[in-house]
Amino acid sequence: MRYKYNILNYDLTNGLAEEIQVPGGFIYVKDASDANVKVAVRPDSKSNDLVYLKKQFGVVVEFRKLYITADAQSGKTVEIVIANSYDTFRIFEQAQTPDIATVGSITDPVTIQNPTIADILKIGGTTQTGYDLLGQMQKYCDPSHGTEIAKSASIIQAVATSIIHTVTAGKVLVLEAATINFYGTGASFSLHVRNESDVVQYAIFEGATEGANFFSGNILIPAGYDICLNNTSATRSLYGFLKGREI
C-alpha cells in the first residue's frame, strides 16, 4: 500500500534544492517560521514550470517525483506535506470551494455557459458528425489518453490578464485540476475560460480573499479556448496552475 502522506522539515538558511523520489497528488506548506517564507515546486521534471507556495498554500497535481527549491532565507524554516491526494490530508483552513454559480447555471440548463457537445466536437472549426460519442467520452475519462498539460502563470502586482494555456487546434482539453494562490485582500481575481474571440465563457474561480483555491474534476474545453488568470489590483499578486490532458 502506498503512503498516505509525508511531512518534510527544512531549514532555509542556505537555500534549498531537493529532489523527492516519492509519487503523490498534493503538496501543501503546512507551516513556516513566518508568512514571508516562500518555496517553489516542480512536478516530475526540472524543465516544468515553477509553482510558488507559502504558509498554508498548496497545489493539487499528480507527480512521480518532486523538485523543491528556495532561495536562502536566513533563520527561516518550513514544513511541507506531500500526500497521495487532496482528500488524504484535509487541513486547509484557507482552502475555498468555488461557488457552482461561477461554473455554470444548474437552474437554467438551456443557457448554461459550459461548452456543448457540438463545441467539443469541433475540429478545424467544423462540427464532426457520425462520432462514436461513447467511445469519445471513454477517451476523456481514461487518463492514459492524450498529451499531459501542466502549466502555470502569475501576475505580480499588476492589473492584468495572463493566459495559462490555449487549447491546441484540433484538440479538446480535459481540465483535471487547477489551483489559484492569491496574496492579499481588497481586490478581486478569477480563473476563467474565454473563447477564440476573447469573450469570457465562464469562471472556474472568482474571489477576493487571500488563500489557496482548488478545483478537481473534469471540464472539457474546446480547441482555441484560453484558460486565463485575471487580477484587478496593482498591489496584489496571483499565481495559477492547471493540469489536464489534450485529446
Q: What was the pLDDT predicted at 4?
A: 64
Query: CB 2: neighbour CB atoms within 10 A?
Result: 8
Q: Does residue 95 lie within any of the structural domains?
A: no
Provide the CATH number for the domain around residue 159: 2.60.120.340
Do 21 and 124 fall within a single domain? no
Which of 83, 117, 133 is where one domain is finished?
Answer: 83
CA dihedral of 198, 128, 217, 169, whole degrees rounded to 10 = -50
Q: Does residue 52 lie within any of the structural domains?
A: yes
Do 139 and 231 fall within a single domain? yes
Segment 128-185, tens digit of pLDDT = 444 444 454 455 555 667 889 999 999 988 899 999 999 999 888 888 889 888 877 6
Do 193 and 122 fall within a single domain? yes
Query: C-alpha cell of 80?
Result: 511541507
3-state SS class at 136: helix
Q: Does residue 153 lie within any of the structural domains?
A: yes
Provide the CATH number for the domain around residue 19: 2.60.120
Q: How far apart are the first and last CA of the chain?
A: 31
Could you tell me if 79 and 32 are in contact, meaning their C-beta atoms sit under 8 angstroms apart?
yes
List all residues 6 or more positions away from 219 whose beta carbon is below 8 Å from its beta carbon.
103, 114, 174, 175, 193, 204
Segment 53-69, tens digit of pLDDT = 888 787 778 888 899 99
The upper half-sphere exposure of residue 144, i.e. CA atoms within 13 Å in the direction of its Cβ, equals 1
Mean pLDDT value across residues 219-223? 85
Task: Give dist(CA 160, CA 60) in Å, integer.
Answer: 25
Query: C-alpha cell of 23?
Result: 509519487
pLDDT above 70: percentage of residues in the chain:
73
Which of 50, 83, 116 is where one domain is finished?
Answer: 83
Do 136 and 168 fall within a single domain? yes
- Tell me the residue range of the domain where 17 lies: 5-83
Q: How many domains does the chain have?
A: 2
Q: Does residue 53 lie within any of the structural domains?
A: yes
Q: Does residue 27 surpass a pLDDT of 80?
A: yes
Do 146 and 175 fall within a single domain? yes
Do 52 and 123 fall within a single domain? no
Task: Give dist(CA 208, CA 190) in Å, integer.
Answer: 9
Do 49 and 144 fall within a single domain? no
Q: Does residue 188 lie within any of the structural domains?
A: yes
Q: Does residue 75 lie within any of the structural domains?
A: yes
Which of 58, 83, 108 is where one domain is finished?
Answer: 83
Do 159 and 57 fall within a single domain? no
Do 121 and 187 fall within a single domain? yes
Task: Give dist(CA 205, CA 215) in Å, integer.
Answer: 8
Task: Give dist(CA 95, CA 108) in Å, integer.
Answer: 28
Q: Does residue 10 lie within any of the structural domains?
A: yes
How far is the CA of 170 from the CAs of 117, 145, 173, in angstroms?
14, 15, 10
Could you tell me if 155 and 238 are in contact, meaning their C-beta atoms sit under 8 angstroms apart?
yes
Do 137 and 68 fall within a single domain? no
Do 57 and 107 fall within a single domain? no
Q: Does residue 90 lie within any of the structural domains?
A: no
Mean pLDDT value across residues 34-42? 88
Do 28 and 74 fall within a single domain? yes
Task: Give dist(CA 29, CA 31) in Å, integer.
Answer: 6
